[in-house]
Amino acid sequence: MIGLVRAVFALFRALGPDRSSALGGAVARAIGPLFPAHRTAMTNLREAFPDKSEAERRAIARSAWDNLGRTGAEYAHLAVLFDYDHDNPQPDARVEVDGIEHFMALRDDGKPGIIFSAHLGNWELPAICAARYGLAATAVFRAPNDPGIAHVVHEVRSQTMGGLEAARQGAAFSMARVLEEGGHLGMLIDQHFTRGVTVPFFGRPARTNPILGKFARRFDCPVHGVRVQRLPGGRFRLQLTPPLDLPRDREGLIDVEGAMAAMTAVIETWVREDPGQWLWMHRRWRPASAALKAT
């Protein structure tokens, strides 16, 4: 299986970034609606956007498949996709960064920091940006289910990013060590987490991993959000927010559930602005969330 995955990556490399991205998007648009996950996407879209027409929701779902296919094909080009140069900006650069000053402040403030993100655009680019600009950051990732794909993707990530930490049992200890040593954690927080806290997302209860809120409370460190927008012409925009003003309890400590609700609210704003670039195929809302909220 690993050999097959390597062969596919070799094909994408031979095609170049633009053609491989276009091919990946075309394939995903064609076959994505044939999978059960497409029904999940449509159900999610009906709940999230009750005022949109079914045709509008189908168009968003097709765009989401396109983005997923393009992102998959772009793994073969992660080493060359990020070409932003703050000191020598190029008008034809593939990547632009909005908020690079926040990246640099995180790098130079001598304190630990947390960066949350979501499955938007090509969500791998922020970790590459951090590595390029000397920000000591560890990206927490969930490995693909297929071992062959997971192996090759890890190879690609290792060549382009800084620290990597797989989401697994015991990972919290390694993550805490990163912050104890003054480093930074980056994590995607927009997927269902069974043992998580319940927060509102598009007006519905959603279970969310609370670990970044717990670390924010423990270390009282800056928390930023970062998103990637896919732009026309094979380009991207990275946007890093200023540090969030997270809610605190009576003791002045960051409230974990309130912190996760605040981060999720930022992600909802991003998704509403460009819904076709989010991963609607994931079962983000589940009946257990509503039941837990009611108890």
Going residue by residue through the chain, which has 295 residues, state the pLDDT in tens, using 9 for 90 and above.
567 777 877 888 889 999 999 999 999 999 999 999 999 999 999 999 999 999 999 999 999 999 999 999 998 898 888 888 888 878 889 999 998 888 888 888 888 999 999 999 999 999 888 888 888 888 887 766 666 676 666 666 766 666 666 566 667 888 899 999 999 999 999 999 998 999 999 999 999 999 999 999 999 999 999 999 999 999 999 999 999 999 999 999 999 999 999 999 999 999 999 999 999 999 999 875 444 444 4
pTM across the whole model: 0.89
Give the whole-angstrom CA distance, residue 164 versus residue 143.
11
Q: Which of 267, 270, 268, 248 is nearest to 258 (CA)?
A: 248
d(CA 288, CA 68): 27
294 half-sphere exposure, CB direction, 13 A CA radius: 6
Sequence-distant (≥ 6) Cβ neighbours of residue 31 within 8 angstroms = none
